[in-house]
Amino acid sequence: MKKLFVFLLIFIAAGAKAQLSGGFESNSSYYVDDSKIKLEQIEAQNRLRSNSYLRLDYKYKHFTTGIQLESYVPKALLNYSPNLKEAGLGSYYVNYKNDSIGLDITAGHFYEQFGSGLVLRTWEDRQLGIANSIAGGRVKYAPFKSVQITALYGKQRNGLGFDFTAGSVFGLNTEFELSTLFKARKISYGLGLSYVNRNEKTDFNALPPSTFLTSIRGNVKKGGFTADAEYAFKSKDALVEFGNVRPELQFDGSAYLLNIGYSRKGLGINTSFRRLENFAAYSQRNLSGNVFNEGFVNYIPSLTKQYDYSLGNIYVYPAQSNLSFEPDRNKAGEIGGQLDVIYQFKKNTPLGGKYGTNVSINFAQWHGLKGIYDAAQRKYEADLLGFSEKYYRELSLEVRKKWNPKLASVFTYLNQYYNTRFVEEAVGEVNANTVIVENTLKVGKANSIRWELQHQWADGGFKNWAASQLEFNLKSNWSFFAIDLYNYGNDNANKKIHYYNIGLAYKQGAARVQANYGRQRGGLICVGGVCRFVPESAGLNLGVNLVF
């Protein structure tokens, strides 16, 4: 089958009007031991590691075909899945798309999302080690402008490896733009329905092979007002504890999601509410809760503000969607929400000044599900709207101010509560306050200097941090940077570490090369609300990225 797709790729590329596009990305590290960070788990011969990807896509009339070659030689980067080995053909596909007849057909690997992703989302994020595409077939058909139907079937890729999970996935999705169908003019509204089935053969008589997820959702928009709501249900499936499937313990799950927003010139308000109960879904049962994000079918990001600043990401909250039993630490999901308010003070006003001032406020709070739990018997019953232990809370204020044509600043204050005992299943809790100041100064026509100062006070966890960053950007091509995070308040003297990094980057057109040397802080890293753990390390890193 793979040879057939490669042949089709070459055949289409041979067409006189074929269009070639693609990209190459390589990230390599040479890990070292220094005075503070030791990597005993890495043998001397495995200190050089690399993840590389070459993607080629060809388009010819209504056809597009492509492949992605991947290499994890000599070994994959530290803390990526052990399934990442050697080199090979990671994905391949052929697509036919004809908008005039509303038909879109794909054979091979594809990525898909139904609605918000509560019941199905597959995507690629190399930083997180995610590439959970489905290999099989997908058909999208739009018989009318107001109706779209999607059907798919296949096996899911196991993380970024070359194998597949044990289960097969079938999905059916329909989207109805009802306002278009009924020719509404001043209001827009629609309806979506989804069904996803995971089928995995089992040796347990008490455990049916299939588990399904369903979703119904609606959206409405009028003027500056928007709202969407979704309810999803997961049929009974076995509890998985430490990778062991427990067929005698089966539970269903549910999810509720509500988003409401309002915007007009200078003002934006968005609020979200979500309740999850035992709603993580995997294409292979025993992968439930794995630390490498392998085999998950649905998309459950944390609904909190995402920060670019290093100290704002010390205590990040990953969504709690799994069911687990443990005396005094039972969990069945989460309930909570967040509120975002963005306001722009107009120019030439007392608070706006000559160039205006942008202010954003975010508040988020998440709790466990209140209910009756029996850890010994592995039984529970959760309240619909009951709030139990507080898992996480944050309040942030961000002010963006342009002082003159050359100087702009960002001021951020962040207050966080982090329940380590429930979020990481460790011990303790943390109250942290973080202050961040960022300034950017333009020098000449194409040069700039950016510097950050950060400080975090905390009564638990790692205690106090200080951080700074200095960056020079020269003529839009060269960038030089130096970063230092210092955990000076750690109770353990051996953990009072400077996590420094110095490096440079060069960009020319669609090509970018970056090199840096320094230390990586251990802990959670999150992209788009999805997180994974990384260990602390030290070494030399090289990144190459080319798009064509």
d(CA 173, CA 175): 7
d(CA 332, CA 478): 49
- Tell me the C-alpha to C-alpha distance, in Å, between residue 526 and each of 368, 505, 541: 21, 23, 20
User: What structural domains and CATH numbers belong to the chain?
Assistant: 1-81 (no CATH), 99-298 (no CATH), 301-543 (2.40.160)
Contacts of 314 (CB under 8 A, 6+ apart): 432, 434, 456, 458, 461, 462, 465, 523
- Residue 495 is classified by DSSP as G
Name residue 239's beta-bridge partners. 246
- Give the pTM: 0.92
- Tell me the C-alpha to C-alpha distance, in Å, between residue 428 and each of 315, 417, 488: 13, 11, 20
Q: Strand, helix or coil at 310?
A: coil
pLDDT tens series, the chain, 548 aa: 555 455 555 555 555 456 999 999 999 999 998 888 888 766 666 899 999 999 999 999 999 999 999 999 999 998 888 888 899 999 999 999 999 999 999 999 999 999 999 999 999 999 888 999 999 999 999 999 899 999 999 999 986 678 899 999 999 999 999 999 888 989 999 999 999 999 999 888 889 999 999 999 999 999 999 999 999 999 999 999 988 999 999 999 999 999 999 999 999 999 999 999 999 999 999 999 888 889 999 999 999 999 989 999 999 999 999 999 998 899 999 999 999 999 999 999 998 999 999 999 999 999 999 999 999 999 999 999 999 999 999 999 999 999 999 999 999 999 999 999 999 888 899 999 999 999 999 998 889 999 999 999 999 999 999 999 999 999 889 999 999 999 999 999 999 999 999 999 999 999 999 999 999 998 888 888 888 888 899 999 999 999 99
